Amino acid sequence: MKSIKSLLVLADGTVFKGEHIGAEPADGFVSGEVVFNTAMDGYQEVITDPSYAGQVIAFTYPHIGNYGTCFYDNESSKPYCRGIVVREITSLASNWRKEQNLEEFLVEGNISGISGVDTRKLTRHIRSFGTMGCAFGMLEEKALAEIARSEPGTTGKDLVSQVSSPLAYTYVPDVALGSDEHAKSDRFKVVAYDFGIKQTILRHLAKIATVQVVPATTPAKVVLENKPDGVLLSNGPGDPAALPHISANIAMLIGKVPIFGICLGHQLLACALGGRTFKLPFGHHGINHPVKHLSSNKVEITSQNHNYAVVPDSIADMTVTHINLNDGVIEGFGSDKIPILSIQYHPEAGPGPHDAGYLFNRFAQLMGENA
């Protein structure tokens, strides 16, 4: 197949040459906020993570697509990222679970990409100058540069409304694998707010509770009428400061039911408690971030995907429980007065290490203590 030349242009005018992959971009280009992900595998889970809505994902690992894709590994019903950037994509995928190669998967999901890019150089550039707008495609460099400069990014934008389910539903655990670990547990009842929830989070929750998933704007009164043992605030995309209506809703749940916040849910819980958030220079995106659990001094290697974080000391009467050892960012907080468990990283991994999986059992313990 003949390759189609493509250009990636950043908002500051930096240009990278490459070749088109994936779906044909509408109007000949794709734009978004470019971020890099350092994971060595799990590209399908990354691409289908709704937390990447509005963003173009640059993979730092040089060879992407080795093992293809399969439906079970999707974290959502479709990809919400704007596009992907890779050094090299393979056309030959080897894996007994493979259903499609990555190129076919991108076309089916209507995701465009660019390959042949020096992703090491791109990553170093983002680390030096921060996350910024970008555009890539088959247009002239001047046109792409103008589009990149006008890309608004994620700051101040409500992206949750683009990815949240419009209807409530009861999650049905996976039983096709024939494993007891995927069987439903009815010990507890959890209501999970869908801010862009990942399937792997639901699989972990189903091991400890029956799970009802509700849209992001579901009123607290409706949730409490269901008499849940606990409430899960899920991951999701974008700027928590752009969601004051959701934070205000969460505030009405605090102290009335145990709450477990993950990623964006963690940030929104912080805002509901009066805290503030800020945007990181280039975010945390990968599966190798070291996090220290302060009470035990144990270090967990964690999966992360976020561009915003909680401002230190902005929440009164809260205890910081976890910190990021790379940059000191708050990775978790709790309270002796109210039943909350709040974590910035991804205890479900998907993809990533399982060091933090115990936190779902901690949530079950919290619900048991407040039954």
Whether the Cβ atoms of residue 333 and residue 270 lie closer than 8 Å to each other:
yes
274 and 316 Cβ atoms separated by less than 8 Å: yes
Catalytic residue status for 348: yes
Q: What CA–CA distance (Å, rounded) separates 211 from 348? A: 16
Q: How many alpha carbons lie under 13 Å from residue 248 in its C-beta half-sphere?
A: 5
DSSP classification of residue 40: S
What is the H or E stretch that residue 224 is in? Answer: helix 220-225
Q: How far apart are CA 187 and CA 226, in angstroms?
A: 15
Pick the closest to residue 81 from 154, 140, 11 (CA basis): 154
Quote the DSSP letter at residue 24: P
Q: Which of 246, 233, 149, 139 is nearest to 194 (CA)?
A: 233
Contacts of 5-8 with CB under 8 Å at 24 or more apart are 5/138, 6/114, 6/136, 6/137, 6/138, 7/114, 7/136, 7/137, 7/138, 7/139, 7/141, 7/144, 8/85, 8/114, 8/117, 8/122, 8/134, 8/135, 8/136, 8/144
Q: Which of 75, 103, 151, 348 is catalytic?
A: 348
Q: Is 322 among the residues known to form the active site? A: no
The active-site residue out of 204, 285, 289, 346 is: 346
Q: 158: buried, middle or exposed (CB in 10 Å: 19+, 13-18, 0-12)?
A: middle
Task: Confirm whether 346 is a catalytic residue.
Answer: yes
Instruction: Give the start-end residues of each E strand in the chain.
Output: 5-10, 15-22, 29-37, 55-59, 63-64, 83-85, 88-89, 112-115, 132-137, 169-170, 188-194, 209-215, 230-233, 259-262, 277-293, 298-310, 319-324, 330-334, 340-343
Catalytic residue chosen out of the listed positions 263, 289, 322, 331: 263
- What single-letter DSSP state applies at residue 216? T
Give the closest residue to 203 by CA, choosing from 78, 333, 73, 70: 73
Count helices and strands in the chain by DSSP H and E runs: 10, 19
Residues with active-site annotation: 263, 346, 348
